[in-house]
Amino acid sequence: MDSVGKSIHGAKYECLLFDMDDTLYPMSTGLNLACRKNIEGFMLQHLHMEGAEVPRLCLELYKEYGTTMAGLKALGYEFDNDEFHAYVHGRLPYEVLKPDPALRNLLLSLPQKRKIIFTNADKAHTAQVLSRLGLEDCFEGIICFETLNPPLEPVADCNDVLDHGDTVLAGGASQANATGLSLTDGRSFSSKSRVLCKPSLEAIKAAIRTANIDPNKTIFFDDSVRNIASGKAAGLHTVIVGSSTLVPGADHALRSIHNIKEALPEIWEGEGGQIVQVIQPSAVATVILA
């Protein structure tokens, strides 16, 4: 059983939105570099691109489109999304990630019931990372690649994806349908169309709709300067992680995610600053909305 803080009423924030990679664990693990090398390998072996150009193009597409994958799709390269993710993430040295009981206890102490992962990564990678860190039951749900880029073919019944006991992320069929996320203008995204991802403002707004959150009462943690700027443009409160200095669009700066309580005590402040401790079962699975 885990002790979970819950504010009685009047908290400044109702939801905390967390990026995952290089936010919940430090970049120094080397996972980011290993991922980039795998992307370059995919470009060489599966897309048959010129070897000398791959590292430069990989980085340029990342800077321009948010992810190299999104850039490759924009250039007209066609490949299976699952095959790409399996190659890029399936070869990562996940063993470098260790359980983080300090972060787990910190997350469980947060008074906000709603804590959501918002990542550009696919659901398999997300599940692997959270499991390795021992954080798989610390979040209400996950907004990942499949959430914002569902296949055109029907997937599992919506209720099977969204529900876990009393937990529903996104408020039911008005936010998602049998093919995943449906944007308000009626468009959907498939493996052969452009990739919707951070730092696109459209992706941030889609995540806000999908999770059915009030941006004015939501605080967004991310290590990317561009993602922070887009989050602020979408109306979110923002925290840059991995930096001790503010960047454009950031309301707060954290050298480490472990410094939340010292840097942002207002997260724990409810009406009269009172927080009631309640007990919750520890084995609650995180819902992946995809």
Same domain, 10 and 69: no
Q: State how far the Cα of 172 lies from the Cα of 264, in Å rounded to an integer.
A: 32
Is the predicted pLDDT of residue 158 greater than 70, yes or no? Answer: no
Q: What is the mean pLDDT of the chain?
A: 82
Same-domain status, 201 and 85: no
Last residue of a domain, one of 72, 94, 116: 94
Distance between CA atoms of residues 211 and 139, nearest Å: 12
Domain end, chosen from 94, 112, 146, is at: 94
Give yes or no: residues 79 and 130 share one domain: no
Do 159 and 63 have their domain in common?
Answer: no
pLDDT in tens, 136-149: 999 999 999 999 99
Residue 33: band (very low, low, confident or very high) from pLDDT cuts 50, 70, 90: very high
Q: What is the pLDDT of residues 173-202, one digit of tens each?
A: 233 332 233 333 333 333 456 899 999 999
Q: Do residues 280 and 287 lie in contact, with contact meaning Cβ atoms separated by under 8 Å?
A: no
String of DSSP letters for 202-264:
HHHHHHHHHHT--GGGEEEEES-HHHHHHHHHTT-EEEEES-SS--TT-SEEESSGGGHHHH-
Judgement on whether residues 104 and 239 belong to the same structural domain of the protein: yes
The answer on 70 and 148 residing in a single domain is no
Nearest Cα residue to 176 out of 192, 196, 157, 194: 157
pLDDT digits (tens, 9 = 90+) for 237-253: 999 999 999 999 999 99
Tokens describing residue 148: 């914002």
Q: Are residues 76 and 208 in the same domain?
A: no
Last residue in a domain, options 73, 94, 115: 94
Give the model's pLDDT for residue 276. 31
131 and 74 belong to one structural domain? no
Q: Give the structural domain span for 162.
A: 2-25+98-289
143 and 270 part of one domain: yes
Q: Are residues 196 and 235 in the same domain?
A: yes
Residue 102 shares a structural domain with residue 90: no
Helix (H, G, I), strand (E, B) or coil at 275: strand
List the one residue out of 55, 89, 176, 224 whose CA is nearest residue 81: 89
Domain count, the chain: 2
Q: Which residues contact 229 (CB under 8 A, 6 or more apart)?
A: 199, 247, 248, 249
Residues 231 and 216 in one domain: yes
Helix (H) or strand (E) holding 43: helix 31-45
What is the percent of the chain with per-residue pLDDT over 70, rounded to a whole number? 75
Average the pLDDT over 257-280 and give the result: 66
Q: With cut-offs at 50, 70 and 90, classify the pLDDT of residue 41.
A: very high
CATH number for position 144: 3.40.50.1000
CB contact at 8 A, 185 and 196: no
**Which CATH number fits the domain that encloses residue 70?**
1.10.150.450
